[in-house]
Amino acid sequence: MTLRKTFVALAVAAVLIGVAVAVIIIPRGGDPQDCTGCHTTEAAAWENYSSHKGIYKTCTFCHEEADPVPGEGHRTSPWCEQCHSEVSHSPERYATYEENKDLLFISCTSCHDPMGSSNVYLIRERILVEQGEYALVDFQSWEGQADYSYAELGAEDGGHNDMEPGSGLCEVCHTETTLYNSAGTGEDPHTVGCDTVRCVDCHNHAIGFEEVN
């Protein structure tokens, strides 16, 4: 092979490699800012009406560039506390980690999907309630004990969906609480009725769901 042919062959190989790399790391339209090409699951969640899209418009508002080459760790992931002041379930109540290894660590993203959800308030459609066990959550109401709300009514109490007490957002994780637990055995202790009082009216999210005095 002559020197000229060798040079041409190397040039063609370089072009082919460049095209292959571009296809791999820039999946759509040659735009390295198009996150949806790789992050398809997140992109689908982002399109929900309940998402950060309505406020921030783009992924890059929260995820700043850490490395210009797409790949693991190429974008930052901010803590929720950088924008939000609400507190998750307070870890202080759980004593020490060694004494409670079987308890799940409860963070903002345990209940909320920051990318988006079909539920209001970005509530996850599946919430981890035990190691390896998820509960389906359909949260569409701001009422207290009601269909698709914090605590489910059930057919016997006037509910109109196929969900039973114990499947509400605040119930699915609570196995040992006297009221509104995942077994659906709790009774309404409030004289005004939980159809008009929300869980968060008495258990404030801003202070880690501690009871408001």
Together in a domain, 145 and 206 = yes
Question: How many angstroms separate the CA atoms of 58 and 43, rounded?
Answer: 11
Domain range enclosing 174 = 84-213
Domain-located, residue 185: yes
Domain-located, residue 62: yes
Together in a domain, 120 and 208 = yes
Question: How many angstroms separate the CA atoms of 163 and 155, rounded?
Answer: 8
Together in a domain, 142 and 44 = no
Together in a domain, 51 and 150 = no
Residue with tokens 């040079």: 7
Question: How many angstroms separate the CA atoms of 7 and 58, rounded?
Answer: 44
Supply the pTM of this predicted model.
0.72
- Amino acid at site 134: Y
Per-residue pLDDT of the chain (213 residues; tens, 9 = 90+): 565 555 555 555 555 555 444 444 444 433 445 788 888 998 899 999 898 887 887 888 888 888 888 888 888 888 888 888 887 775 555 444 455 555 556 788 889 999 999 999 999 999 988 878 899 999 998 887 888 888 888 767 666 777 788 888 988 988 878 888 888 876 655 544 555 678 888 888 888 887 876
Domain-located, residue 96: yes
Structurally, the chain folds into a number of domains equal to: 2
Domain-located, residue 23: no
Domain-located, residue 7: no
What token pair was written down for 130? 């035990």
Together in a domain, 73 and 178 = no
